[in-house]
């Protein structure tokens, strides 16, 4: 794995606050509305997120509500409900964490995953899986950018919005950033932009063609960072104190059923996915949990702890199928099946027994 580029998957939820509001107010779907800081006194608040229908009127986040109302007088304003957005954010992060990689929660609706040298096709597969699970399980849309570094991955994400997916191969990074403006680099503010503009530097390619000493003279250490970025070198680290506690997969069945073969086939697929993720994240598991949700939304869970660590999909499936068997019974139709591995340890720190 060490030979692969260290790709970062950057995920940003699309118009997050507005999408959260649409989940509980489906009637708002096509309407121009905005989530604002103060709805009691509309003329003092600021727009936090504008729905896509509202954006058509030129309304965007950061705009004073008074100005937004001037652009569209019938704009429906909802006061922000941060606790609610945070609860949904936790569910999003839960899905991202279930793959066992180091992640940085950048903000309530953004996260960066350090894939630690995972093979390219597996990185893409995981990212696609995350995007479709967020849609499938939470009914929310996100954009994902993947590149060799956090800064580039965020830039890929920014340029793919909304509902986008963009993978930048390591050797195509320079080509990708070349014609972007310096202000497209995350962290470059108006001041830096102005200073660079004084040297006639407007595009990232201009940085690449300039002299690193001059940049350092102008911006200090940051000048040399920008120079490296312009050459396709992104040294920004993923800051994470998160340790993966479990890796899980769950999925609704095609239709509610009590057919053992159908449920087992689903369980087998989920076990393979979960074991694959454990191997990709270099983790071994010791505990196995299965979850069954019935047609009436009641849920049953069963757990078993092995006497050894493993990363085998076969062992996972065979143990999980024994756990799940007594949960499939009579006319309790099953809606959803899940499998989880926990009590994880790093495979590099452990002599495998299996």
Binding site for Mg ion (CB under 5 A): 12-13, 16, 109
Note whether 211 and 236 are within 8 A (CB): no
Tell me whether residue 109 or residue 234 sits nearer to Mg ion (CB atom): 109
Q: Is 30 a catalytic residue?
A: no
Closest C-alpha among 80, 85, 76 to residue 138: 85
Does the CA dihedral 38-105-5-95 come out positive or negative? negative
Compute the radius of gyration of the chain from its Cα atoms: 24
Note whether 75 and 33 are within 8 A (CB): yes
Alpha-carbon gap, residue 323 to 320, rounded angstroms: 5
Active-site option among 110, 225, 250, 319: 110
Tell me whether residue 13 or residue 50 sits nearer to Mg ion (CB atom): 13
Q: Which helix (DSSP H) or strand (DSSP E) does residue 289 occupy?
A: strand 283-294
Q: Supply the DSSP symbol for 348.
A: G
Note whether 277 and 344 are within 8 A (CB): no
Note whether 236 and 153 are within 8 A (CB): no
Q: How far is the CB of 12 from Mg ion (least distance, A)?
A: 4
Note whether 276 and 313 are within 8 A (CB): yes
Q: What is the DSSP string of 220-282?
A: THHHHHHHHHHTT---PPP-------EEEEEEEEEEEE--HHHHHHHHHHHHHHHHHHHHHTT
Q: What is the DSSP string of 172-231?
A: GHHHHHTTSBGGGSTT--HHHHHHHHHTT--BHHHHHTS-HHHHHHHHTHHHHHHHHHHT
Closest C-alpha among 353, 276, 290 to residue 327: 290
Alpha-carbon gap, residue 47 to 79, rounded angstroms: 10
Q: How far is the CB of 177 from Mg ion (least distance, A)?
A: 21
Tell me how long the chain is: 354
Q: How far is the CB of 259 from Mg ion (least distance, A)?
A: 41
Catalytic residue ranges:
110
């Amino acid at each position: 794995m060490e030979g692969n580029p260290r790709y970062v998957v950057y995920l940003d939820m699309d118009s997050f606050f507005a999408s959260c509001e649409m989940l509980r107010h489906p009637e708002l779907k096509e309407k121009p509305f905005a989530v604002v800081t103060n709805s009691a006194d509309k003329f003092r608040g600021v727009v936090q997120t504008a729905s896509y229908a509202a954006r058509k009127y030129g309304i965007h986040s950061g705009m004073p509500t008074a100005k937004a109302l001037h652009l569209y007088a019938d704009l429906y304003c909802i006061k922000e409900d941060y606790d609610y957005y945070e609860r949904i954010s936790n569910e999003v992060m839960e899905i991202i964490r279930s793959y066992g990689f180091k992640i940085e929660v950048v903000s309530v609706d953004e996260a960066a995953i350090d894939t630690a040298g995972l093979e390219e096709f597996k990185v893409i597969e995981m990212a696609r899986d995350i995007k479709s699970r967020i849609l499938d399980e939470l009914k929310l849309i996100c954009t994902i950018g993947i590149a060799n570094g956090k800064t580039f991955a965020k830039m890929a994400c920014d340029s793919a919005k909304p509902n986008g997916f963009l993978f930048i191969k390591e050797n195509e990074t320079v080509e990708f950033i070349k014609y972007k403006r310096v202000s497209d680099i995350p962290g470059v503010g108006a001041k830096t932009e102005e200073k660079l503009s004084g040297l006639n530097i407007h595009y990232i390619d201009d940085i690449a063609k300039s002299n690193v000493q001059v940049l350092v003279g102008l911006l200090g250490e940051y000048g040399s960072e920008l120079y490296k970025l312009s050459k396709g070198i992104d040294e920004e680290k993923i800051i994470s104190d998160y340790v993966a506690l479990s890796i899980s997969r769950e999925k609704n069945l095609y239709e509610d059923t009590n057919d053992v073969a159908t449920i087992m086939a689903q369980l087998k697929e989920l076990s393979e996915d979960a074991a694959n993720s454990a191997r990709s994240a270099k983790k071994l598991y010791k505990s196995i949990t299965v979850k069954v949700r019935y047609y009436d939304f009641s849920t049953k869970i069963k757990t078993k702890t092995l006497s050894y660590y493993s990363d085998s999909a076969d062992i996972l499936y065979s143990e999980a199928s024994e756990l799940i068997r007594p949960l499939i019974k009579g006319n309790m139709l099953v809606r959803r099946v899940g499998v989880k591995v926990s009590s994880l340890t790093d495979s590099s720190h452990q002599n495998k027994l299996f």
